[in-house]
Each structure stands twice: as C-alpha cells, then as structure tokens.
Chain A
Amino acid sequence: MAKRKTTRMALTGNEAMAFAMKQINPDVVAAYPITPATQIVELFSKYVADGEVDTEFVPVESEHSAMSACVGASAAGARVMTGTASQGLALMHEILYIASALRLPITMCVVNRTLSAPINIHCDHSDTMGSRDAGWIQIYTENVQEAYASTIVGVKTAEKANLPVMVTTDGFVLSHSMESLDVFDDQDVREFLGQRKPLYNVLDVDNPITVGPLDLQDYFFEHKRGQIEAIFEAKKHIYDAHREFAEFFGIELPVFMEPYRLDDAEYAIVVLGSSAGTGKEVIDNLRDEKGMKVGLLRLRIFRPFPYEELQQVLGKVKYLAVMDRADSLNTMGGPVATEIARALYHLSERPIIHSFVYGLGGRDVPPENFYEVIEKMQWIAAGNTPDRMVTYVGVRE
C-alpha cells in the first residue's frame, strides 16, 4: 500500500468538506446556503472566486433548484456536488427521488440539523432519516477526518454505483468544531478520482436520448425494480470504492460499520455519527473499570442497509440498545432501531432490542446518556419489561 503524502491541518467539519470539494474540483456545484452548512457553500464560492477550482458554480435561489440543477448537470455528464441541511434537504425531497431513479451520481454534503417545528438549527438526524427511502447512499461520519475522507470516497462510490451519495456530519458538533486532520495533496485526490465517464449524457448531441419520460403501468415496475437492484449492487461498489481508497491513500476507512470492543459483548449500543466518540469512552470505562461485557457499533452507512453485516456482528449480543437521533413518530422510536430489529428477526440467536431516542434538536449528548442506556438494558436483563418500545434519553419528561 503506497501511503500518499498527507499534510496536517486544523479544520472544522465544514472547512474540511469544502476543502475536499476544492480538491475534487467538480464540474458543477449548485448550492444554496443554510445553517449549519452555509460555510461549505461560502468557502467553495471563494475557491471559485480565487480560481482554485474551475467549477461552474450555480448559486441557485433555493435548495429545490439546487437539486434540480444537479440533476440537469449530472445528466449532462458532469461531476456534480452540492451541500445542504435540514429544511433545505426537505425542500429537495421531491428531486432526491428523481436523482436516484435517473441513476445520476451526485455527491451531497449534508450537515445534519433537525427539521422544524419548532425551528431549531442544531443537530439531530431527522433530516437525513426523512430521506432514507429516496434511493441515496447515506454515509454518516464520526469526526472531521472521516468527513473529509468520506467526501472523496463518496464521489468515487457515486460514480461506481451510478447513484447519488449523501455524506453527513453532525451539525455544529462536527461542522463547526475544529479538529486536526491529515489531508491529501490536490493532485492525489484528482488522480484517485480520475474523470467521470458517464454511460449516456444529454450533451451528446449526435446520440440524442430522452431522459425522464412518462412510464406507465406496463414498464414502471420493471424500471423501479432495476433501480432497486442497483441498491443491492451498490454494496459491492461501496466496498470497491473503499478498498481502492485504502490502496491508493494507504488509509483505511470503516465501510458500513465500525464495531468497537464488540467481540464478546453481551450488551451493545448502536449509534450513528459523532456521538459514537462519547459512547466509546463510556464503553471503555464500563469494560475497564467495571468489567462489563459491553461494546458499541457505529453504523456508518445506513443506506443501503447492511443487514448481513449487522447479523454477523450483532447476532451474539444479548441486549442491544439502538440509539436514534431521530424519532419516527410511530410509537416505536427511531428508524435505525426498527430496521435493525427487522435485520435480526430471523436469526435463531438474537438480542433483545430496545430503542432509545436521544439528542434531539442539538440537546447535548454527555456520557450520562450512554450510562443511562446501559442501565436501562440491565433493568431489562433483570426480567423487567418496558411499557413502551422506546425510551427517551436526556429529556425532561
């Protein structure tokens, strides 16, 4: 593995993502500012103004138009990126489905922020969880280093799978926190990604195509089935992109998940994003000081859902706490818990699962949240049955 040269920098999550975008030098960026993702758009426009990229920057009048222009540009064969958060992602919602169904690789940096109402600018995952069925690959990152690297590998993944990719950071927790990280050389990033080679494009005027036609009862299902199959196949492309990344840069990223001290764990926590860092510390304390067999699984890629991988690592756990930073408003808790329960249901050996919802609207996530979760699971292990399938952590009830 040839380790490429890296440079140590101190960057916030937004700066790191914008820096990765500069190195990627996409053909088109169409974006609209929104807290807490605004800086990504600001910094990128500065790169454009300073001639550090030769991207065509389209400062659209809304996120709906941002995603619409991304669809047009990607259908034209361009390498396309954008960034947004929360209400902006919600406003794009209609077009997210069109981007994926037209099999257009678009890489979008999403800074997770809750959805209104009440209006709030801080982190939870309700925005991207709200678009979980839009046919996008979703990568949730734990820290700024990973956000940077995932933005680069996200482009590779999108273009291999011919599917759009969201790379997310937790709003403010990562987007506005400065971290020291290793960045690659511009040239290496560009060499790693190479040129996008689209199968078809609407600028190929000698071979005209019709994109987005009306598709009725006689063909729609077959075409939708094809898109669904592309999601199945995306797993392979995701592994390939990450393997190539590791081979090229000499740095290995966790792919679908990162198990932490999980091998012999009786109790385990599943969590996404930046909270995993706090969770790991709690796991260390419980293991090293109290001798508890506890572990953690950070789910990095939520779409496509890695059910086989999860079956392998979670099947032997006895008590599984799934922590969601979003609620499905369905009386069963968060979407990750629901899907993990489905993934493990058919195993002969499977854990007792309980859903925990935490950190909504940017509520701080201290270690106490994790201790509370483990205590609740011990209470369940002692033979108690919770009244509900979900427990809310860190909230005044």
Chain B
Amino acid sequence: MAQKAKTLRDLARMKRALAPGHRACAGCPFPVIVKLVMSATDYPLVVANATGCMEVTTTIFPYTAWPVNWIHNAFENAAATISGVEAAYKALKRKGKIPADKEIKFVAFGGDGGTYDIGLQALSGALERGHNFLYILYNNEGYMNTGIQRSSATPKYASTTTSPAGKVIPGKLQWRKEITDIIIAHNPAYAAQASPAFWSDLIRKVQKALEADGPSFINVISPCQPGWNYPPDLSIELTKLAVETKYWPLYEYKNGGWKVNYKPRKPIPIIEFLKPQRRYKHILNRPELIEEIQQEIERRWERLLKLEEAFPLKE
C-alpha cells in the first residue's frame, strides 16, 4: 500500500504534500514533516490538527494547503476530535453506511503546546481508549505560534519570552519532560521519535505506525526558526545535529520493547547543536551549564540503551 521512496528524487516526486502558498515561516520544517507523513502511505487520510502554527499557516480562508480531509476543532483536543472521527468511521462501517473494504487512516498533528501541555489529557484519554490513529507531534520546543513562550518541551536554559535569559536567571530552569516516555507508559501500539533529516527513517516509522493495530505516536523534532533563532537554511541541519549529538535519539517502541534506530559512531558534543541557536546565546560562555546539559544527554542516552538491552523490540 505504501509508496516507495528510496532516493531524494523519489521523495521529490511524491505528490501528497501541502500545496504551495501556505504561510509557514521560511525554513520551517513542518511542511517537510507533513509531506513525509502523507507520502509514507497511499491510504486515504483524515487529519485533525490542533490549534497552532500548522493550523493557522495552512488554512487561511479561503485557501487551504491540505489535499486530504482535515479538521481543526480547538487547541487542546486534536486527539479527542480524531477519536470522534474514528468512532464515527467504525460505527458507519458497522452499519453499512461506509463500504466494509474502504480503509481510511486517521492522523492528528499537534505541536508541543497542544501535546505536552494543554492537550495531554485528551491525548492520554484517546491512547487509553485505544482508538486507531496516529498522533504526530511536531515538536518545536515552545509555544511558537503565540510568540515563543516556554512549554514543558522547552529545554533547560533555552531563552523564551516567558523564560527569558536575564541578569539573574539564565533562561528556562527546568528540564523538558519526556513526552515519549509518558506516551509509552500508555503501552500504545507503536511509539517513536524521529527527525526530518532522517527522512527514510521517518517514513518507515509512519508506515509502521499506520499498520499497527491501535493508537500510535511519533515525536518529530521541528526547529522553529524565529523561536530558536538561527539562520533559516539550517533547519534540517539542526535536526541532523540533534540526532548526532544524541540530543534527539531516534528510537521506537512496540510490543513492550525498545529499539534505538541510530547510534552515532562519533557523537558530536552538544555545544555544536547549541551554538547556532541564539536562544542559547547567554550560556555559550558558561561551560558549566553546557556541561550540565551534556551530562543530562548522556544520562538519558544511557537509560535508553539500557531499556533497549533489557527489553529489545520484537516485531
């Protein structure tokens, strides 16, 4: 059922993408993510979108960039909304109002605000109820649509407009919470972390998620050019550096097991990921803080490797 994309040329030919003309910022990677997700499959899709950058930039009336059925309800309820759509699909199919052989897949997109924070309850409920849907978190590590405020996805020491770097306080003081761990605690049919720089890995994960029987979740890193404050041509480069520094491990979870999909042979020090981002400008001359971040990355990486070792993923 899935389209085959082995090379970048194949990828460029894939038709199911956002239409040009949407208002996402220059360099914003979420249109790339949406294209990869939609191109990973030939199934008809129904998309629910949480309020946020993706929703506001792709559907300014009278235009829409979406080539598939799309619904936006509110900020915190993309998972509940897609639950309702999926429940309707099941009911109408059972009652013979939709042909039995008509297979439709359901995808929700939310940013980290709509997922980690205000929409966490609705997502938790939908996962627990076991709806058949894929939730894609495009994670730009802050409330970027409202102008770069901290979220619980914002990493430690990042400066945002509500965790500003000041004379006394060096940006956000808390570590981000591990949303993928929280999702895995629901024992979903499939969960993963992905990065658009590793596009074939992302496509493969979307395909696995859509074939899984039950709820699935993919946390995709999605740098925000104005929010992270870097030259716009570096977006995909940053999503590569995030993986190479072990800041953003690529891994997946299924059947109670973990698999780390990519283990950098020569991991790059985190400073290389932080340096281009002006949200970290204030700590670049504070090696003790950089070291603290490096230590935390190592701790989380080691934990992940131990999980993989103790509970290897079995297909």
- Is A269 engaged at the interface, CB distance under 8 Å to the other chain? no
B72 and chain A: residue at smallest CB distance: A212
Asked whether, in the complex, the Cβ of A71 is within 8 Å of the Cβ of B91, the reply is no
Asked whether, in the complex, the Cβ of B72 is within 8 Å of the Cβ of A69, the reply is no
Q: Mask for A4-32, Cβ within 8 A of B = 1, else 0?
A: 00000000000000000000000110100
Given A213-B60, A219-B61, is A56 in contact with B88 using a C-beta cutoff of 8 Å? yes
CA distance A216 to B57 in the complex (A): 12
Given A64-B122, A203-B85, is A55 in contact with B73 using a C-beta cutoff of 8 Å? no
Asked whether, in the complex, the Cβ of B124 is within 8 Å of the Cβ of A203, the reply is no
- Is B301 engaged at the interface, CB distance under 8 Å to the other chain? no
Contact residues, A241-275 vs B (CB, 8 A) = none
B110–chain A nearest beta-carbon distance, Å? 13
Asked whether, in the complex, the Cβ of B92 is within 8 Å of the Cβ of A211, the reply is no
Given A64-B77, A65-B77, is A73 in contact with B87 using a C-beta cutoff of 8 Å? yes
- Is B152 engaged at the interface, CB distance under 8 Å to the other chain? no
Asked whether, in the complex, the Cβ of A73 is within 8 Å of the Cβ of B94, the reply is no
Residue among A56, A64, A195, A216 facing the most chain B CB atoms (10 A cut-off): A56
Q: Which residues of the partner chain B approach A54 to less than 8 Å between Cβ atoms?
A: 91, 94-95
A64 and chain B: residue at smallest CB distance: B77
Q: Which residues of the partner chain B approach A219 to less than 8 Å between Cβ atoms?
A: 61-62
Residue among A80, A94, A98, A208 facing the most chain B CB atoms (10 A cut-off): A208
Q: Which residues of the partner chain A approach B71 to less than 8 Å between Cβ atoms?
A: 72, 75, 202, 211-212
Contact residues, B30-59 vs A (CB, 8 A) = 44-46, 48, 55-56, 59
B85–chain A nearest beta-carbon distance, Å? 4
Contact among B56, B60, B81 for A71, CB-based, below 8 A: B81
Asked whether, in the complex, the Cβ of B85 is within 8 Å of the Cβ of A76, the reply is yes
Asked whether, in the complex, the Cβ of A213 is within 8 Å of the Cβ of B72, the reply is yes
B126 and chain A: residue at smallest CB distance: A65
B122 and chain A: residue at smallest CB distance: A65
- Is A61 engaged at the interface, CB distance under 8 Å to the other chain? yes
Q: Which residues of the partner chain B approach A60 to less than 8 Å between Cβ atoms?
A: 80, 83, 125, 129
B59 and chain A: residue at smallest CB distance: A213
Say which size band chain A's interface belongs to. 35 or more
Contact residues, A29-70 vs B (CB, 8 A) = 30, 54-56, 58-62, 64-65, 68-70
Number of residues from B at the complex interface, CB < 8 A: 48
- Is A199 engaged at the interface, CB distance under 8 Å to the other chain? no
CA distance A209 to B74 in the complex (A): 17
Q: Which residues of the partner chain B approach A213 to less than 8 Å between Cβ atoms?
A: 59-61, 64, 72
B94 and chain A: residue at smallest CB distance: A54
CA distance A37 to B72 in the complex (A): 29
Residue among A59, A62, A212, A216 facing the most chain B CB atoms (10 A cut-off): A212
Q: Which residues of the partner chain A approach B62 to less than 8 Å between Cβ atoms?
A: 219
B30–chain A nearest beta-carbon distance, Å? 15
Contact among B87, B89, B94 for A58, CB-based, below 8 A: B87
- Is A382 engaged at the interface, CB distance under 8 Å to the other chain? no
Q: Which residues of the partner chain A approach B74 to less than 8 Å between Cβ atoms?
A: 68, 94-95, 98
Residue among B77, B88, B95 facing the most chain A CB atoms (10 A cut-off): B88
- Is B70 engaged at the interface, CB distance under 8 Å to the other chain? yes
CA distance A64 to B75 in the complex (A): 12
Asked whether, in the complex, the Cβ of B72 is within 8 Å of the Cβ of A64, the reply is no
Asked whether, in the complex, the Cβ of A30 is within 8 Å of the Cβ of B84, the reply is yes
Q: Which residues of the partner chain B approach A64 to less than 8 Å between Cβ atoms?
A: 76-77, 80, 122
- Is B104 engaged at the interface, CB distance under 8 Å to the other chain? yes
- Is B199 engaged at the interface, CB distance under 8 Å to the other chain? no
Asked whether, in the complex, the Cβ of A61 is within 8 Å of the Cβ of B122, the reply is yes
Q: Which residues of the partner chain B approach A395 to less than 8 Å between Cβ atoms?
A: none
- Is B178 engaged at the interface, CB distance under 8 Å to the other chain? no
Residue among B71, B79, B94 facing the most chain A CB atoms (10 A cut-off): B71
Given A72-B81, A216-B61, is A58 in contact with B129 using a C-beta cutoff of 8 Å? yes
Asked whether, in the complex, the Cβ of B68 is within 8 Å of the Cβ of A214, the reply is no
Q: Which residues of the partner chain A approach B44 to less than 8 Å between Cβ atoms?
A: 205
CA distance A56 to B129 in the complex (A): 12
Given A77-B88, A208-B66, is A61 in contact with B124 using a C-beta cutoff of 8 Å? yes
CA distance A271 to B7 in the complex (A): 72
Q: Mask for B88-114, Cβ within 8 A of A = 1, else 0?
A: 111110110110000010000000000
CA distance A143 to B84 in the complex (A): 32
Q: Which residues of the partner chain A approach B56 to less than 8 Å between Cβ atoms?
A: 214
Asked whether, in the complex, the Cβ of A61 is within 8 Å of the Cβ of B60, the reply is no
- Is A204 engaged at the interface, CB distance under 8 Å to the other chain? yes
- Is B203 engaged at the interface, CB distance under 8 Å to the other chain? no
Contact among A59, A98, A203, A205 for B88, CB-based, below 8 A: A203
B89 and chain A: residue at smallest CB distance: A203
- Is B67 engaged at the interface, CB distance under 8 Å to the other chain? yes
11 contacts between A and B (CB under 8 A): A28-B84, A68-B74, A72-B84, A72-B86, A76-B89, A203-B46, A204-B69, A208-B68, A210-B64, A210-B70, A213-B60
4 tightest A-B CB contacts, nearest first: A72-B84, A61-B125, A69-B84, A213-B59
Chain A residues in the interface with B (C-beta under 8 A)? 27-28, 30, 54-56, 58-62, 64-65, 68-78, 80, 94-95, 98, 195, 202-205, 208-216, 219, 223
Known: A56-B91, A212-B59. 20 other contacts (CB 8 A): A28-B91, A59-B129, A61-B124, A62-B122, A64-B76, A64-B80, A65-B80, A65-B126, A68-B74, A68-B84, A69-B80, A72-B82, A72-B84, A72-B88, A95-B73, A95-B74, A98-B73, A203-B89, A204-B69, A214-B56
